[in-house]
Structure 1
Amino acid sequence: MTPEKIKKMVSQLTLEEKASLCSGKDVWNTKAIKRMDIPSVMVSDGPHGLRKQPEDGDHLGMLDSIKAVCFPAGCAIASSFSRDTAKLLGETLANECQAENISTILGPAMNIKRSPLCGRNFEYLSEDPLVSSEIARAYVSAVQSKNIGTSPKHFLANNQEYRRMTSDSIVDERTLREIYLASFEGMVKNAKPWTIMNSYNKLNGTYLCESEAMLTDVLRNEWGFDGYVMTDWGAMNDRVKSLKAGCELEMPGGNTTNDLEIVEAVRSGDLDEAVLDQAVERILTIIYRFEENRDKNISYTLDQDHEVARQLAEESIVLLKNDDGILPLSASQKIAYIGQYAKKPRFQGGGSSHINSHKVESALSVADEKTISYAAGYNDATEAIDEKMQAEAVKLAAESDVAVLFVGLPDSFESEGYDRKHLKMPANQVALIEAVTAVQKNIVVVLHNGSAIEMPWIDKVQAVLEVYLGGQAVGGATANILFGNVNPSGRLAETFPLRLQDTPAYLTFGGEKDQSVYSEGVFVGYRYYNSKDLPVLFPFGHGLSYSTFEYSNMTVSKNKLNDSERVSISVDVKNTSNIAGKEVIQLYVSPINSRLIRPAKELRAFDKIHLEAGETKTVRFELDKRAFAYWEVAIHDWHVEDLDYKISFGKSALDTIMSEVIHVTPNQLLPKVYDLNSTIGEIMADQNGKVILEQAMGSVMAGNADAATVAEQGPNDMMNAEMFAAIMEGMPLRQLLSFVPGVEKASLQQLVDALNQ
């Protein structure tokens, strides 16, 4: 429907009808207006599988939904480091939505993993905004290519579950721009989501549904978002303020109180009816975009999409450790599968994204009984050690060639609604690992978890396979990796720290009362660990393969450029093994000798490529201003320092393969206003300021013998050159009155005036 027709339709609605369209009919549906043939449409959770419920359903995952396919959770999909993987997930879900008459799927969930303690990290994508934004962009574009809407969430700074509905995230402007807004920015600009879901929390004192700065100034005016904003379920605080700020749709519906508030606000003059009209136009535009592009011939089968789920899991599994090449396993070996998750895997998280899977495939269910035997080893429902179960597992491990332990985190350890208290695995699972290592040296650990964990046993096992919450086909995917039918190619999209105390937000995560201060600033995840040179268990970007890869011939298109230019970087990557595999190419940028507090290294580009045995491919990236820029609060914009920058390819955020140094110059200098408290160092750092200061001081020295003597002598025996330079660096102009004979306040003011011209 054209914008003109929608405007005409809105003009024919009554005030009450317009207000009613700004809230849902029930938990999952928008309202219809029959006399105008305005249909009701359904929205549905979630990012990794349909959770379609009847009208009287719930949003917390407590009631049953339709039988569906549970795909890998966000923690796994991001670890694929593959836009194609995210695209396949999006296209598959969109087909299911078309077949099930669902207009919009609520996701992806793309809040930054500020701390591994966040209970909902299993659903979120990454600690890095580029990975989050790019994986989400591919997913959103794929879903919407099938004329189904998305609702990326939760906008913004929703990084904890503790008091998430009232907590106030206190985040400085630069951190917001470089980390938390950056996670959404590229996705919004390039994928144009149909809707956005705002979060429950406040941001710097204002509920997100009432934040005109975020919903209108940034999201619409700056980034070009042209859909509608909906609340998270129950996030509405003040209905009229929210409408003015740019939050159009309140969910869930069923309560008319806020609709009446809108009507009264228009009648009283508190709300311009044009604001309401615009909101309704935005909502109707998206409704008809779906309705007029329905494809009623699309169908899907659960079993077919189950195979897609397996493929997605295979792309996402991360091989963390593989000493002595213990993996892949051989069918000729006598193998013990130990751990409850081998038979009943934990494959999804709890809460609003919980899927009613039509079937679940375990590693044991696809195993060859002649080769593989099984012992449960522990009870997932408790942390208590079951001595009998553990003894049976240890005996089986001792009698086998290899023991594969399936362990991780139970549902009770991580879920929507509450945060984790620690990074430990259940005590009975840790005890099982320790007991098995005492009788068996060939041990492979398979991890089912939604976020980082501590691994005190890491040095006692030979291999670790991180399968995350890999969806309902995780068992088959895991088996294919274990036996080499599939070559692992996932990479960690988050850092695994050695201990909780090492994490950037350790002292402040969760906050006090209803306020959470993001005191770590831009130092989130690997940005913190790298800058502090802090050892970690496994770094961001880490992941092994059964193939080996060699990098060579790194080239940059130019070594000097200004920030309006782009630089092209290329590298040759060769598969030096006899096994076809996939490599994730990671490109990092580091400012050299920055005068600012900046991360030591930041990911600025990545790609995933397939290489046949012996094959070489050239990978190219192009970097623009944003790759070198930081957010400058003085100008409220991106700015590039006049610096050398190291561009490096790495196997991870810690493992650098090769690098080149280039120099980038800003096109515009930062505006600077000098006064008598400006320091000598500040002025000398400014090329023009240095000339003016040297000329002014030269005049003073030339006309005053005492001053000239001071200048000639420089530092004395009590003060070395370094001390003298440091004092001069921090000395404000006004102090020259005290230390340089002949300097007068009037002449200093003339100097300030000259500097400011």
Structure 2
Amino acid sequence: DFQGLPDSDAPVAERVHNIIEQLTLDEKIGMLGGYKWMGIRAIPRLGLPSVWCSDATSGVRCFGGGTAFPAGLALAASWNPVLIEEVGAVIAEEYRAKGVKILLGPGVNIYRVPTCGRNFEYMGEDPFLAGKIASAYIRGAQSKGVITTVKHFACNNSDYDRHKTDSVVDERTLREIYLPAFRMAVQEGGTKGLMSAYNLINGTYASENRHLLTEILREEWGYEGFVISDWISLYSTAGPIKNGLDLEMPDGKWINTEKVIPLLQDGELTEKDIDAPLTRLLTALFKGGVYDSPQVDPDAALHTPEHVALAEKAAMEGIVLLKNENALLPLMPEKAKRLVIMGRTARDTTSGGGGSSFINTPEKIDILTGFGLLAEDYTVELVPYRNHRLTADEKAQIAGADAVILCAGFTTWEEAECYDRAWELPEKQDVLIRKVAALNPNTVVVLSVGGGVETESWIEQVPAVLHSLYLGETVGTAVAKVVLGMAAPTGKLPFTTAKRWQDFASTQYYVDDPTSFSLKRVSVGQGDPTKREVWQMPYEEGLEVGYRHFDAAQIEPQFPFGFGLTFTQFALSGISLTQDAGDAVAQVTVTVTNTGERAGAEVVQLYIHDVESSVFRPEKELKGFQKVHLTGGESKTITLTIQPQDLQFFDTQENAWRAEPGQFEALIGTSSRHIAARLPFAID
């Protein structure tokens, strides 16, 4: 039976002080380096057990048996913080069932380029949306006694040569684009853990970047948790210890007695320098209840039907309907009895991107199986995938179907961490889409892709497109339920989809060969400063990331940020703004009405436009949203609040946030390009 520590009623600061007083110098140093790849070292004589970590945001990966939830980008596509808080709580319960107390996520790096290998793990291109979704996830997870570690701090916005890239970014862009989601995770989510990135930021590695880890994170934001390194990301000993890192993972390669004690003897480090990170680490672990609960929670559930049902609900809310000409979807049996399922990802549907976040679950339901389970009133046929080649019989089979569901996308090897992916669908899937669309006018394309992808070459030839992102183990039933009308698609894009890769401003300053890959090149120099050659990645586009750039450059996107169709229609009315809102700047009231017959959901989005500014400001910036579920004919009135910080920019001259007096507009709409009302207001 779990006995716990004898001083469980004492204040946390007192408990931490008492432990540090009893630790030997070797024990102190040992606790600052990881243990057995995924652990924090135990001190048995003091009753401190080992503490275990695991990837990742989508569920328990390292210890097996957990439910595979949708990837981070799919969670963000739900635009539903209430749902995501519930998801975080359930995933944390499964962590506890496996004896894991530290969750290595969520990831909130900004979607800067559409081909970043880990975009699928993160929460989109907008820092406000990413921060709100991540904060909800954190609150849910930590409510169950599991500590989250928000990652990767900061500017880890590509996986191409991630160990050797120096993200060169100006201070205003850093503050307004790449740090706000982390700040919200700290101040709104209350995360007790944070993970540093692999890359350098303005010439200094993230794991020893004092400006980030101490000056901003702790001194400005008031962060009281610990900072853990990404795996094998240190290149020195004194720098990380003195500048804000608390735990080197997966072991003490750089923070160990052989390296630390000589620095203590030479005076480069003091024992207080060792005590400081250890104090932060132990304080967070005690505040998180890690040492005051059993390693394995015998009452915690793992992969229950209720958990799988929640995973499916999250998956369905993350599906984005991009196109639906002539209301082809849903495919009701009275208009589409005979269905052909085909394509590269029909039988081997990608449930998650590759790398440390991937959960290889035998419970995964692919799209073909999902239709087989649910389409009782239909005839479902399979056309095998052989790249873009079709036999004469297969062409006849496709042409004779009432509708074709063509599944396209990447594998977990093609879209994964360590490298970036292609912009185009591999294996000439675009050719297959055009061939099938020419044979059957009722072709539905289902994309299993962790972000934007080239669609310009075929989008006009198909009537319906679903973007399923990576939906976890229930991907097959989630997609089938939406296509067959058993559930409504309610997701909205958390990123902008472009007509061309070059339409993103960031690609002008990116590498020429982002898809070239060599395991040797990726691994050489990792953790070894003598075998790496750092190169600079300029963030010259500044604030023009995602929809901010498409607005500034007046480029028409393929599909805008915040966009997503559903099977019904919505109207926004009674839109008004009042400035008598107490501490808030203003409140916007909107009545949302489902004017159709089917149930569905709309996401009301609030953007701020600064009419008068002495500095460049984006045309609009997301500062509020609410997802509203309504049955046919139902209405609901909601209120969105504009806070003082929503009007601010970072003044690099004053090194402070400020809002200039003058005119502003509150833009209310259903995407960044579908604005229903512009409401003027002013501040003094």
TM-score (norm 1): 0.82
Q: What secondary structure is seen at the aligned counterpart in 2 of 1:341?
A: coil
Amino acid at match of 2:572: Y
Residue 318 of structure 2, aligned match among 306, 316, 319: 316
Q: Does 1:49 align with 2:59?
A: yes
Cα drift, residue 298 of structure 1: 1.8
Q: What secondary structure is seen at the aligned counterpart in 1 of 2:153?
A: coil
Q: What runs of 5+ residues in structure 1 fail to find an aligned partner?
A: 54-65, 666-757
Quote the residue 1:331 is aligned against: 333
Q: What secondary structure is seen at the aligned counterpart in 2 of 1:506?
A: helix
Quote the residue 1:445 is aligned against: 445
Structure of higher RCO (CA pairs closer than 8 Å, 6+ residues apart): 2
Equivalent residue pairs, number: 644
Q: Does 1:356 align with 2:356?
A: no
Amino acid at match of 1:570: T
Equivalent-residue separation in structure 1 for 2:388 and 2:569 (angstroms): 41
Equivalent-residue separation in structure 2 for 1:493 and 1:663 (angstroms): 29
Give CA-to-partner distance per residue, 1:467-490, whole Å, 9 cap, x none.
111111011001110111111110
Cα drift, residue 375 of structure 1: 3.0
Residues 439-478 of structure 1 aligned to structure 2 (within 5 Å)? 439-455=439-455, 456-478=457-479
Q: What secondary structure is seen at the aligned counterpart in 1 of 2:51?
A: coil
Q: What secondary structure is seen at the aligned counterpart in 1 of 2:180?
A: helix
Equivalent-residue separation in structure 1 for 2:183 and 2:141 (angstroms): 18
Residues 549-588 of structure 1 aligned to structure 2 (within 5 Å)? 549-558=570-579, 566-588=585-607
Cα drift, residue 267 of structure 1: 3.1
Amino acid at match of 1:532: A
Residues 369, 579 of structure 1: alpha-carbon distance in 2 compared, 3 angstrom cutoff: closer
Q: What secondary structure is seen at the aligned counterpart in 2 of 1:484?
A: coil
Q: What secondary structure is seen at the aligned counterpart in 2 of 1:374?
A: strand
Residues 662, 392 of structure 1: alpha-carbon distance in 2 compared, 3 angstrom cutoff: farther
Amino acid at match of 1:356: N
Amino acid at match of 1:336: V
Q: What secondary structure is seen at the aligned counterpart in 2 of 1:638?
A: strand
Equivalent-residue separation in structure 2 for 1:259 and 1:230 (angstroms): 19
Quote the residue 1:640 is aligned against: 659
Residues 273-288 of structure 1 aligned to structure 2 (within 5 Å)? 273-288=271-286
Assess if the C-alpha contact under 8 Å between 2:150 and 2:185 holds in 1: no
Amino acid at match of 2:357: S
- Higher mean Cα deviation, 429-438 or 458-467? 429-438
Residues 714-725 of structure 1 aligned to structure 2 (within 5 Å)? none
Residues 53-68 of structure 1 aligned to structure 2 (within 5 Å)? 53=63, 66-68=64-66
Equivalent-residue separation in structure 2 for 1:407 and 1:597 (angstroms): 40
Cα drift, residue 232 of structure 1: 0.1
- Higher mean Cα deviation, 195-204 or 269-278? 269-278
Quote the residue 1:102 is aligned against: 100
Q: Does 1:533 align with 2:554?
A: yes
Cα drift, residue 15 of structure 1: 1.1
Q: What secondary structure is seen at the aligned counterpart in 2 of 1:75?
A: helix
Equivalent-residue separation in structure 2 for 1:301 and 1:387 (angstroms): 40
Q: What secondary structure is seen at the aligned counterpart in 2 of 1:153?
A: strand
Assess if the C-alpha contact under 8 Å between 2:235 and 2:254 holds in 1: no
Equivalent-residue separation in structure 2 for 1:327 and 1:132 (angstroms): 30
Quote the residue 1:481 is aligned against: 482
Assess if the C-alpha contact under 8 Å between 1:378 and 1:428 holds in 2: no
* Percentage of identical aligned residues: 35
Assess if the C-alpha contact under 8 Å between 1:378 and 1:432 holds in 2: no
Residue 346 of structure 1, aligned match among 339, 342, 350: 350
Residue 545 of structure 2, aligned match among 502, 520, 524: 524
Q: What runs of 5+ residues in structure 2 fail to find an aligned partner?
A: 1-7, 513-532
TM-score (norm 2): 0.91
Q: What secondary structure is seen at the aligned counterpart in 1 of 2:592?
A: strand
Cα drift, residue 387 of structure 1: 4.2
Amino acid at match of 1:463: A
Residues 393, 428 of structure 1: alpha-carbon distance in 2 compared, 3 angstrom cutoff: farther
Residues 36, 220 of structure 1: alpha-carbon distance in 2 compared, 3 angstrom cutoff: same
Q: Which runs of 4+ in 1 moved over 6 A?
A: none
Residues 304-703 of structure 1 aligned to structure 2 (within 5 Å)? 304-332=306-334, 333=336, 334-366=338-370, 367=372, 368=375, 371-379=378-386, 385-388=388-391, 391-420=392-421, 422-455=422-455, 456-510=457-511, 514-558=535-579, 566-665=585-684
Assess if the C-alpha contact under 8 Å between 1:165 and 1:200 holds in 2: yes
Cα drift, residue 400 of structure 1: 0.9
Cα drift, residue 293 of structure 1: 3.4
Cα drift, residue 257 of structure 1: 6.2
Equivalent-residue separation in structure 1 for 2:511 and 2:675 (angstroms): 34
Equivalent-residue separation in structure 1 for 2:243 and 2:254 (angstroms): 20
Equivalent-residue separation in structure 1 for 2:567 and 2:50 (angstroms): 51
Cα drift, residue 331 of structure 1: 2.1
Cα drift, residue 239 of structure 1: 1.9
Equivalent-residue separation in structure 2 for 1:182 and 1:479 (angstroms): 37
Equivalent-residue separation in structure 2 for 1:613 and 1:278 (angstroms): 58
Amino acid at match of 2:616: I
Cα drift, residue 451 of structure 1: 1.3
Equivalent-residue separation in structure 2 for 1:412 and 1:34 (angstroms): 41
Equivalent-residue separation in structure 2 for 1:256 and 1:75 (angstroms): 34
Assess if the C-alpha contact under 8 Å between 1:302 and 1:358 holds in 2: no
Equivalent-residue separation in structure 2 for 1:303 and 1:553 (angstroms): 42
Assess if the C-alpha contact under 8 Å between 2:86 and 2:140 holds in 1: yes
Residues 370, 396 of structure 1: alpha-carbon distance in 2 compared, 3 angstrom cutoff: farther
Cα drift, residue 498 of structure 1: 0.3
Give CA-to-partner distance per residue, 1:599-627, whole Å, 9 cap, x none.
11111101111112222111111112221
Amino acid at match of 1:649: I
Q: What secondary structure is seen at the aligned counterpart in 1 of 2:310?
A: helix
CA RMSD, 1 decimal: 1.9
